[in-house]
């Protein structure tokens, strides 16, 4: 496990549509106890949002997610992303991500994809879409086959299922967006997001206890 993720159990997965929301959102999550966040490359504001967080909230480790192409990886690294996440994995994408020497979580959904990622020396992977793949029972079934491989389930994860995933020995962390609902971001309700982040952080603390 990369040092960046040590002690981290819940990673907010954020879709930021307005650059101006980035810094107050990151601060609210950090104040709630979540110090590692992922900003998805699903909007035109993503790169600028990552740059703003990296510059103005350095206590937060901000990464880039939903990286689909090599050019996305380059843009994320240039913006200041401290880790990289993709929903799947292609040879070109993986090669570009690994060349940055940033922590990289490739997306996997099948045993063959897990084997391909492991062949590249990767042992921590994003499992996506976790809920649709079978949830906790699916991840549990992978444990005896892929010793030494850890998963970050993302997709359909909420406060209730997060605790169930984190109880598994091959799940050190989960990713989700439930602590930063879109309506709260649009409204600038940072206090609500801080409270939700506190609850999310408590799930991780309970799992580690």
The set of catalytic residues is 38, 126
Residue 182 neighbours by CB distance under 10 Å: 11
Q: Single out the residue of 151, 164, 154 nearest to residue 114, CA to CA.
A: 151
């Amino acid at each position: 496990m990369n040092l960046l993720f040590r002690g981290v159990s819940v990673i907010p997965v954020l879709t930021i549509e307005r650059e101006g929301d980035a810094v107050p959102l990151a601060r609210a999550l950090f104040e709630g106890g979540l110090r590692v966040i992922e900003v998805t490359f699903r909007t035109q504001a993503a790169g600028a949002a990552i740059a703003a967080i990296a510059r103005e909230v350095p206590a937060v480790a901000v990464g880039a997610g939903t990286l689909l192409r090599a050019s996305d990886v380059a843009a994320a690294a240039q913006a200041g992303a401290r880790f990289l996440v993709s929903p799947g994995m292609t040879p070109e994408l993986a090669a570009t991500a690994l060349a940055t020497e940033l922590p990289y979580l490739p997306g996997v959904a099948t045993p063959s994809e897990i084997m391909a990622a492991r062949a590249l020396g990767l042992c921590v992977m994003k499992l996506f879409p976790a809920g649709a793949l079978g949830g906790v029972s699916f991840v549990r079934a992978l444990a005896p086959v892929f010793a030494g491989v850890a998963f970050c389930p993302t997709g359909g994860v909420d406060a209730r299922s997060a605790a169930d995933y984190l109880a598994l020995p091959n799940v050190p962390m989960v990713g989700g967006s439930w602590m930063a609902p879109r309506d709260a971001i649009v409204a600038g309700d940072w206090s609500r997001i801080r409270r939700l982040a506190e609850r999310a952080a408590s799930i991780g603390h309970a799992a580690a206890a």
